[in-house]
């Protein structure tokens, strides 16, 4: 579900090529974001207790998320998903993560995704992330010193930005990219559209300013985000940092192919955090 809809993206790229789109055009959203409104599954469908929460952002947008508690959990994972679908498409990996790590989990839908209101944008996703983090600070069952940010694919850009604005115990990035411009170049090397995009998510320029322990995970067969981009981010980041290669995994099957060793890498990282 991350950086999905290749056929549609090729069509949009052809529009870029024709010169119809200029910087900041709303059509740019269709190249980057693929929200869906229908929630096809909830944690209750896999036997998990959860709270359906609604949060107000600083610019007045109401967003939706799930808080999934874990008995005796010391750590809370704030989860930012990729660019396609919504939280309802991520119940299985959420369930596996919850069981393997014994952490509370808050997963949100960005504005325009699922039951969240508003229209999605880069700045909007950053505001959504701050609202989610600040909500966690209001909960008596969340240790504010043990909030770990987890960003997958597009969500990596959201998590990196939040790590610069709020305190976190750690930062986990799965299948992260260096920037939207770099992704556009990787997807369409023959089409110079990077400079036309106002949406940046420029993770590479930000990562060296992140001052929390970092874990990057990426499949060595990632067919969407080049493996080299994850490595490039890792090299630019400060210590302490860890890179975990998920052998044989692509972009959307990391938790399936990675299995127990994947979850063990996450568990070890979280347990080492002070």
Question: Is 205 marked active-site?
Answer: no
Strands (E), 57-146: 62-68, 76-80, 84-85, 104-108
Question: Is 222 marked active-site?
Answer: yes
Per residue in 162-192, is it b (16+ CB within 10 Å) or e — as a string? bbeebebbbbbbbbbbbbbbbbbbbbbeeee
Q: Phi and psi dihedrals of 172, rounded to 5?
A: -115, 125
Query: How far apart (Å, rounded) are the C-alpha atoms in residues 151 and 163?
Result: 11
Which run of H or of E encompasses 9? helix 6-18
Question: Is 70 marked active-site?
Answer: no
Strands of the sheet with 241-246, listed across from one edge:
51-56, 62-68, 104-108, 76-80, 147-152, 170-174, 214-219, 241-246
Q: Which of 205, 222, 263, 274 is catalytic?
A: 222
CB-hemisphere CA count at 13 Å for 72? 3
Angle, CA 5 vertex, CA 39 and CA 91 arms, to 5°: 30
Q: Which residues pair with 218 in a beta bridge?
A: 245
Find where tokens 């940010």 sit: 149
Q: Which of 98, 153, 179, 205 is catalytic?
A: 153
Query: Annotated catalytic sites, by residue?
Result: 153, 222, 251
């Amino acid at each position: 579900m991350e950086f999905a809809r290749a056929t549609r993206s090729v069509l949009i790229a052809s529009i870029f090529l024709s010169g119809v789109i200029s910087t900041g055009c709303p059509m740019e959203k269709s190249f980057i974001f693929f929200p869906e409104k229908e929630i096809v599954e909830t944690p209750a469908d896999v036997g998990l207790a959860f709270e359906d929460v609604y949060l107000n952002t600083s610019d007045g947008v109401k967003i939706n998320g799930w808080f999934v508690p874990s008995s005796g959990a010391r750590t809370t994972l704030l989860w930012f998903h990729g660019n396609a679908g919504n939280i309802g498409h991520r119940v299985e990996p959420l369930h596996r993560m919850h069981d393997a790590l014994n952490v509370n989990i808050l997963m949100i839908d960005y504005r325009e995704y699922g039951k969240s209101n508003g229209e999605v944008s880069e700045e909007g996703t950053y505001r959504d992330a701050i609202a989610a983090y600040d909500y966690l600070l209001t909960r008596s069952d969340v240790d504010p010193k043990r909030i770990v940010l987890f960003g997958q694919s597009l969500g990596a850009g959201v998590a990196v930005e939040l790590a610069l604005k709020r305190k976190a115990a750690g930062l986990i990035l799965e299948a992260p990219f260096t920037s939207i411009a770099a992704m556009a170049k990787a997807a369409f090397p023959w089409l110079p559209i990077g400079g036309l995009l106002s949406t940046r998510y420029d993770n590479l320029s930000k990562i060296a300013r992140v001052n929390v322990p970092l874990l990057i995970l990426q499949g060595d067969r990632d067919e969407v985000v080049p493996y080299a981009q994850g490595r490039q981010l890792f090299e630019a980041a400060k210590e302490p940092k860890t890179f975990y290669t998920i052998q044989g995994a692509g972009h959307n099957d990391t938790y399936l192919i990675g299995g127990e060793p994947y979850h063990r890498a996450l568990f070890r990282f979280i347990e080492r955090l002070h």
